[in-house]
Structure formats: C-alpha cells, structure tokens
Structure 1
Amino acid sequence: MLIRSFIPAHITAFFVPIIREDPQMSGSLGAGVNLSKGTNVFINIEEGLERHIHVAFNGEPMSRKEATITYHVAEKLIQRDFKGEVEIWQYFDFPTGYGFGNSAGGALGTALALAYIFKKTLLEASKIAHEAEVIYRGGLGDVVAQLTGGIDLRIREGGPGVAIVDNILANEYKVFTIMMGKLETKRVLDSEVVERIRKVGRIALENLLRNPTPETLMKEARKFAVETGLMEGELLEIAKEVDKIIRLPSSMIMLGKCIFALIRDDEVEKVKELARDLNVSYDIVDIYWGKPKIGRWIPEE
C-alpha cells in the first residue's frame, strides 16, 4: 500500500513562542502564509517477520538521530503489534532550515499518511506531529497553520484542538521569496532574544487583529523583523531594494535567512528582474487555500 500526503510549506511572518510543560498547551501566536509548494510524503508498508522503519529526505536515507521528529511520529502511530517494513519518503520543495516549515511538513505529512493506513483520526495524528515538533524544537506553530491553510492568524497557542487559527481572506496575492541561507530554529528558541521576540510579537499581533489585512500583516512583519534584531545587514538591504518596486513592505521569513513579500500579478516581472540583477535564488508561488491532501497513490506508468 502506497500512501501520499501533501503539506503546504508555511512561512511565519512574526510569532510569539509559548512553551509549557505540556506540548499540547505549547505553541505560538502570530501570523503567516501557506504556500502551494511544500512537502510530499510517500509511505509504503509491507508486512513481514520483523519491524523496521526507514526514513529518507529527498531520496537520502536518514538515521534516527538525523530524523528524530519523523521517527517519533512513526513510533507513536504505527500499531505496536505491527511487524514489517515501513518506508517513509519525504520530498521538500524548499531547502530545509530556511524557514519554510519543512520539519512540520514532514512530521504532519508522515502522521496523516500513517493515520490513513492504521485508521487513526486526523486530530489524533496531528497532535502527535505537533508534540514531536515541540519536544525536539522543530517549530511551534507550523502544524496548526498548515492544517488551516491560507494567510493564517494564530490567536491562541497550542496544538491541534487547542489553538485557535483564523484566516485573512485575500486571494489576489502571490508570494515572492528570496533564499539566502539557514537559521537554526532551536538555536533561536533557546537564546536570549526570545524575550524581545515575545514582547514585539504580541504588539504586532494586537495591531494586526485591529486591522486584519495583508497590508497590516506585512507592515507588522517588517517592524517585528527589524525591532527584534533578527533582520539586519545584507538581508535588510536587499529587502529595501525589493520595497522600491512593490506596493507592500517585504520582510524576513521566520526563521530563515530569507525574504518574502506579497505581490500582485503586475509586480511579478519586476521582482524577477530584480532577483536576476541581485543574483539571488528566488521563487514565486501561489498561496495555498485548503487542507492538507492525503490518499492512495498510484505511480504513473
């Protein structure tokens, strides 16, 4: 049986990390955008005499140490008495560590595909994905955002069934991204900058909830990125160049050394030309409206 799931990539515009003893009560407040590209997970199972789990990222086999979150999810969802081979293949449209929610995409995609196979509910599976993300510091709010889709507003923290996530309903935008490097989520979440992030992030969310529009989202995202000190140097200089040719402010992807902007159709060629002039890696994708996809997969001939 071969099962495929698709989880949208998720960009966080700003956030307020809230970590408690119970992972399901931990999470983040904030806002972000789900993308039409993301993570595809393929799971194949075959019954046998012994239980084995194999994980691969973009075709490369991963050890338990390298894929701790995925193995955690798998062990929780595969029936205890199951014996056989479980192959988990995760393919990412965006590079890992750049702030596109790959960790959560892999965790949630694996959880939903295994839930489909072993007859668990979506809520049960997604709670396990969120738990793994929190315990191993993969992220805090990506799972609940990816379950919701669109331009998300995380207005109460927690895992699936606890968090409250709303949407800004605006479908006239595409998402332009410039990818320059990695930031390690765990390192930021464990650093002294967290208190500053919490303070500035709460102000940003309050302002956005008073006027929940794409314009306010990008304005508050930029203020958050600069005032927390996360966006500086070359990243800030490139963002200023982007701002000269689009209507809304650009900002930094949390957490990656990357820039994102909401653009309209008539701005697409302008940003492409700028990216080529700057000689930077970029992409332009649609906003993903909807739920994760899951079902049996039959390879094309």
Structure 2
Amino acid sequence: MDNHGCAAVQASAYSPAGISSFFRIHGSMENPTGATGGGFTITRGVRTEVAVKASPMRRITVSFNNVPAPARDAETSLRVVENLLGRASNTLMEVSVNHLIDPPMGAGFGTSAASALSLALALSEALGLSLTLREAAEIAHTAEVESRTGLGTVAALTVGGCVVTFKPGPPGECRILRIPLHPDLRIVAAYFESKPTNLILKERSLERRVNRWGDEALQRILSDPKVETLLSASRDFAIKTGFATRRVINALDAAEAAGALGGAQNMLGEAVHVLAYREDVNHVIEALIEKVRPRRILASGIGGKPRILESVSGRVLSLTRTR
C-alpha cells in the first residue's frame, strides 16, 4: 500500500534558548569534540513546527520565522532531518520545517542549538519514532558540532537554569553543574550585532586565547560555585580573549550601575546578558536604552524545559508503507 496522497502530519516542539557566558574548546578548531563552559537557559526560546507527508521523492525545506532559508544557512537543521529520516520506515518524504525564533539569531543566544533540539523532538513525534529527550539531544548535538554552529549548548538546554559544563561530551556523557538561583532573578539581554558562530570557530588564532582564559574561568567558578562568580569570571573571559567591544563593556557598566547583579558577553555575539532582580529589570532596561542604545533588548525568565507541544502519534501510521 502506498500513501502518497495522505494529508501532512504536523507536530511542534519547544526548546529554551541558551546563552553561553564563557567556553573552552575541546579537541581542536579543525576537529572540535565539544566544549566546557557556562551560562543560562532562558524561557524565550524556539518553537519548531514540522509537516511531513509521503512523497515520490525526498524534499526538505527549512524556514526561520516563516522565511525560507537556503541550504547553506540551514545546515544544522538539514543534518537533524536527514538523521531522523534515516530511522523512519519510509524515507521518501516531504518535510517542511519552520523555526519560530524569539531571540536574535547569530548573537550568542543558542538559537541554533534550540532549533536543532526542538526540531529533533517535533520530527520524532511526527515520524512516530518515540525518541527520548536524551536521544533527540544527541542527534541535535552531533548536528551542531558537525556544522560548527555550536559545541556544547544542547546538553545544557536539557538541564536548564544556570549551568556549568565541566566535562565535555554529548548529552548523557558530559558533566554539568547546576547553580541554584533566587526565583526572582531575571535575564536582561542587549543585542548589538550578529557574529555567525560557524565562521568564528574557523579562526585558528582564537583557540589558544579561548582555551587559556576559558580554563581559568572554569577553575574560578568550580572553586566558588556561585552565580556572582560565574558572571565575574565570564566578564573577565570576554575582555581577556578580546571578544568584548567597547559597546559590550559600556553596556555591562550601565546595567550594573542601574542595579544588575552582574553580567557578561554572549558567546558568541556582540550582545550582553545581565542578571537582575524582578524589581530592578525596568531600571536596567531604561539604563541600557539611555546609555548604549542597543538594537534590541530582551527580558526573560531563566530555565525552560524542552518539550513536545503538539502530539500526533495517533495519526503517524499514515506515513508508513507496507510492502
């Protein structure tokens, strides 16, 4: 029986975004195996919608915020789709992917990792593969590393909150420390310009600086595992590696003067994130607007859990072929 004429099966999933405050490359720039580092997951993340139907030939389209993307800009997503289609009973399918991304792209908000993870969850649901969160995260992590769009953010997204990865590896093998936070703390982020991670990670001259100062930051945090230490060590990391621009430093100074607990630069992007108590958030936002005039300001809760939003397992059998 052939079901080419069946209606598309749809599913959607959510992942928090993930801000990296500092990192250290493991492996090499030419062949990275992962990263250690730390940062925060934020609730303003990515919703991915997929539609799948049987087709005479395989066809995959990827959009970001309803705008179709060329293959070179969707490499990570395409790797996820190809991996999952390889596990399906019928590989001849038309797959449409739409990533609805809240934070700015290419600015150190982990949108590539969040897109990959939410896609793996949604497509697994649509195809009836019943992947666990760990299995979906492993697929997303591999796609990120192979595409050079990230090195270790996916695993942190599955844990949530303020996280420090102190042993590199894929989800389930890496070791992550979760630092407790006061429930009234919020993230305020200011965005200036995008810096594509896959291009930055190809700059060989960065590796020595990143690893030297990344190791120092990690040791400081592990010896005093508090969020204040993470923010201070991460700010120093941005300055010592040369990532921090004058706008970044001015933004951090302005936010802290307005009551923020501390802050750091997004890795990798010309953007900053600061921690502030709920009652100080508006003061911090006003100070950032007045002092540094970023292109966008984002306030968000901390945490979030990856999850399927629309379950379609009862209709997935229409996609299979019987011989």
| TM-score (norm: length of structure 1) | 0.92
Q: Is the 8 A contact 1:77 1:125 kept in 2?
A: no
* 2:117 corresponds to 1:108: yes
Partner of 1:65, secondary structure, is: helix
Alignment partner for residue 16 of structure 1, among 24, 28, 42?
24
**CA separation in 1, counterparts of 2:72 and 2:260?**
44
Q: Is the 8 A contact 2:105 2:111 kept in 1?
A: yes
Partner of 1:250, secondary structure, is: strand
* 2:45 corresponds to 1:30: no
- Name the amino acid aligned to 1:277: E
Task: Describe how 1:168-183 pairs up with structure 2 within 5 A.
Answer: 168-170=179-181, 171-183=183-195
- Which residue in the other structure is 1:265 paired with? 278
Cα shift at 1:21: 11
Structure 2 residue runs of 5 or longer lacking an equivalent are 1-8, 313-323
Partner of 2:81, secondary structure, is: helix
How many residues in Structure 1 have an aligned counterpart in Structure 2? 296
Residue-by-residue CA offset, 1:35-71 (whole Å, 9 max, x unaligned): 0111110011122333222211111112322211111
State the identity %. Answer: 28
Q: Structure 1's 219 and 263: CA in aligned 2 closer, same or farther, altered over 3 A?
A: same
- Which residue in the other structure is 1:283 paired with? 298
- Which residue in the other structure is 1:138 paired with? 149
Partner of 1:196, secondary structure, is: helix
Alignment partner for residue 228 of structure 1, among 233, 241, 246?
241
- Name the amino acid aligned to 1:240: D
Residue-by-residue CA offset, 1:112-151 (whole Å, 9 max, x unaligned): 1122233142233221211111111000011111111111
> RMSD of aligned C-alpha atoms?
2.0
Alignment partner for residue 293 of structure 1, among 274, 292, 307?
307
Q: Is the 8 A contact 1:188 1:194 kept in 2?
A: no
**CA separation in 2, counterparts of 1:19 and 1:89?**
32
Q: Which runs of 4+ in 1 moved over 4 A?
A: 20-23
**CA separation in 2, counterparts of 1:151 and 1:144?**
13
Residue-by-residue CA offset, 1:19-46 (whole Å, 9 max, x unaligned): 36998x8211111100011111001112
**CA separation in 2, counterparts of 1:22 and 1:245?**
42
* 2:107 corresponds to 1:98: yes
- Which residue in the other structure is 1:81 paired with? 90
Partner of 1:138, secondary structure, is: coil
Partner of 2:262, secondary structure, is: coil
Q: Is the 8 A contact 2:29 2:202 kept in 1?
A: no
- Which residue in the other structure is 1:184 paired with? 196
**CA separation in 1, counterparts of 2:160 and 2:137?**
14
Cα shift at 1:247: 4.6
Segment drifting more, 217-226 vs 276-285 = 276-285
* 2:66 corresponds to 1:56: no
Q: Is the 8 A contact 2:16 2:303 kept in 1?
A: yes
Cα shift at 1:109: 1.2
Larger radius of gyration: 2
Residue-by-residue CA offset, 1:250-294 (whole Å, 9 max, x unaligned): 2211111001100002211211221332332211111024x3011
Q: Is the 8 A contact 1:219 1:248 kept in 2?
A: no
Structure 1 residue runs of 5 or longer lacking an equivalent are none
- Name the amino acid aligned to 2:72: K
Q: Structure 1's 188 and 103: CA in aligned 2 closer, same or farther, altered over 3 A?
A: same
| TM-score (norm: length of structure 2) | 0.86
Q: Structure 1's 43 and 247: CA in aligned 2 closer, same or farther, altered over 3 A?
A: closer
* 2:11 corresponds to 1:3: yes
Cα shift at 1:235: 1.8
- Name the amino acid aligned to 2:113: A
**CA separation in 2, counterparts of 1:21 and 1:239?**
29
Residue-by-residue CA offset, 1:82-128 (whole Å, 9 max, x unaligned): 33321111111012111111111111111111222331422332212
- Which residue in the other structure is 1:155 paired with? 166
Segment drifting more, 276-285 vs 52-61 = 276-285
- Name the amino acid aligned to 2:187: V
* 2:77 corresponds to 1:70: yes
**CA separation in 1, counterparts of 2:29 and 2:80?**
19
Q: Is the 8 A contact 1:112 1:125 kept in 2?
A: yes
- Name the amino acid aligned to 1:193: L
